[in-house]
Amino acid sequence: MNNAQDKIPAPQQRDDEQILQSAAQEEYKYGFVTDVDTHVIPKGLNEDVVRLISRLKGEPEWLLDFRLKAYRYWLTLEMPTWGHVNLPPIDFQAISYYAAPKKKEDAPKEIDPEVKKTFDKLGIPLEEQMRLSGMAVDAVMDSVSVRTTYREKLAELGVIFCSISEAVKDYPDLVRKYLGSVVPYRDNFFAALNSAVFSDGSFVYIPKGVRCPMELSTYFRINAAETGQFERTLIVADDDAYVSYLEGCTAPMRDENQLHAAIVEIVVEDRAEVKYSTVQNWYPGDKDGRGGIYNLVTKRGLCRGYRSKLSWTQVETGSAITWKYPSCVLRGDYSTGEFYSVALTRNCQEADTGTKMIHVGHHTSSTIVSKGISAGRSQNSYRGMVKIAPNAAHSRNYTQCDSLLLTPTSGAHTFPVIEVHNDTSVVEHEATTSKINEDQIFYCNQRGISTEDAVGLIVNGYAKEVMSKLPMEFAVEAQKLLSVSLEGSVG
Amino acid sequence: MLEIKDLRASIEGKEILKGINLNVNAGEVHAIMGPNGSGKSTLSAVLTGNPAFTVTGGSVTFNGKDLLALSPEDRAHEGLFLSFQYPVEIPGVSMVNFMRAAINEKRKYYGQEPLSAADFLKLMREKRAIVQLDNKLASRAVNEGFSGGEKKRNEIFQMAMLEPRLSILDETDSGLDIDALRIVAHGVNTLKTANNASIVITHYQRLLDYIKPDFVHVLYKGRIVMSAGPELALELEEKGYDWIKEMHPEL
User: pLDDT by residue (tens digit) across A389-423?
Assistant: 999 999 999 999 999 998 888 899 999 999 999 99
- For residue B154, the model assigns a pLDDT of 92
Least Cα distance to A252 among A289, A219, A293 occurs for A293
Distance from CA of B68 to the nearest CA of A (A): 9
- For residue A3, the model assigns a pLDDT of 39
Distance from CA of A465 to the nearest CA of B (A): 8
Top pLDDT among A224 and B115 is at: B115
Q: Judging by beta carbons within 10 Å of its beta carbon (0-12, 13-18, 19+), is residue A110 exposed, middle or buried?
A: exposed
Bridge partners, B32 (sequence order): B201, B217
In a domain, A8, yes or no: no
Interface of B with A in 71-130 (CB under 8 A): 71-77, 81-82, 84, 87-88, 90-93, 97-98, 101-102, 105-106, 109
- For residue A346, the model assigns a pLDDT of 87
pLDDT in tens, A204-240: 999 999 999 888 888 777 766 677 888 899 999 999 9
Cβ pair A457:B97 closer than 8 A = yes
Has residue A49 got a pLDDT over 60?
yes
Quick check: A360 and A331 in contact, CB under 8 A?
Answer: yes
Cβ pair B48:A446 closer than 8 A = yes
- For residue A10, the model assigns a pLDDT of 33
Has residue A13 got a pLDDT over 50?
no
Residue from B50, B90, B112, B154 to probe the interface with A (highest A Cβ count within 10 Å): B90
In a domain, A334, yes or no: yes
Top pLDDT among A65 and A13 is at: A65
Mean pLDDT of A44-55: 91
Cβ pair B72:A458 closer than 8 A = no
- For residue A126, the model assigns a pLDDT of 64
List Cα–Cα distances, A305 to A175, A243, A411, A426, in angstroms.
19, 15, 40, 22
Number of domains chain B is built from: 1
- Please report the DSSP string for B109-168 in residue order: HTTPPPPPHHHHHHHHHHHHHHTT--HHHHHSEETTT--HHHHHHHHHHHHHHH--SEEE
Top pLDDT among B243 and A356 is at: A356
Task: Give me the domain span that covers residue B49.
Answer: 2-247
The pTM score is: 0.82
**Alpha-helix runs per DSSP H in B37-94:** 40-48, 72-77
Task: Give me the domain span that covers residue A462.
Answer: 14-490
Measured CA to CA, the distance from residue A220 to residue A258 in angstroms comes to 14
Q: Which residues of chain A does B101 touch, with a Cβ-Cβ cutoff of 8 Å? A: 444, 449, 453, 457
ipTM: 0.96
For the domain that residue B217 is a member of, what is the CATH number?
Answer: 3.40.50.300
Region for B175 from its dihedrals, namely left if φ exceeds 0, alpha if ψ lies in -120 to 50, beta otherwise: left
Mean pLDDT of A71-95: 89
Top pLDDT among A168 and B247 is at: A168
pLDDT in tens, A114-172: 777 776 766 666 665 444 455 677 777 666 666 677 778 888 899 999 889 889 999 99
Cβ pair A12:B69 closer than 8 A = yes
Q: Which residues of A touch B (CB under 8 A)?
A: 10-12, 14-16, 437-440, 442-450, 453, 457-458, 460-465
Share of chain A above pLDDT 70, in %: 80
Mean pLDDT of B225-244: 87
What's the CA angle centered on B188, arms B80 and B221, to 5 degrees? 60
Number of domains chain A is built from: 1
B51, B69, B82 ranked by CB distance to A16: nearest: B51
Top pLDDT among A319 and A420 is at: A420
In a domain, A128, yes or no: yes
Q: How confident is the model at residue A485 (pLDDT cuts 50, 70, 90)?
A: low
Distance from CA of B168 to the nearest CA of A (A): 11
pLDDT in tens, B24-70: 999 999 999 988 889 999 999 999 999 999 999 999 999 999 999 99
> How many residues are listed for chain B in this entry?
251
Cβ pair A446:B81 closer than 8 A = yes
Measured CA to CA, the distance from residue B156 to residue B146 in angstroms comes to 14
pLDDT in tens, A414-470: 999 999 999 999 999 999 998 888 899 999 999 999 988 898 888 888 888 888 888
Q: How confident is the model at residue A488 (pLDDT cuts 50, 70, 90)?
A: low
- Distance between the two ends of chain A, CA-based, in angstroms? 14
In a domain, A417, yes or no: yes
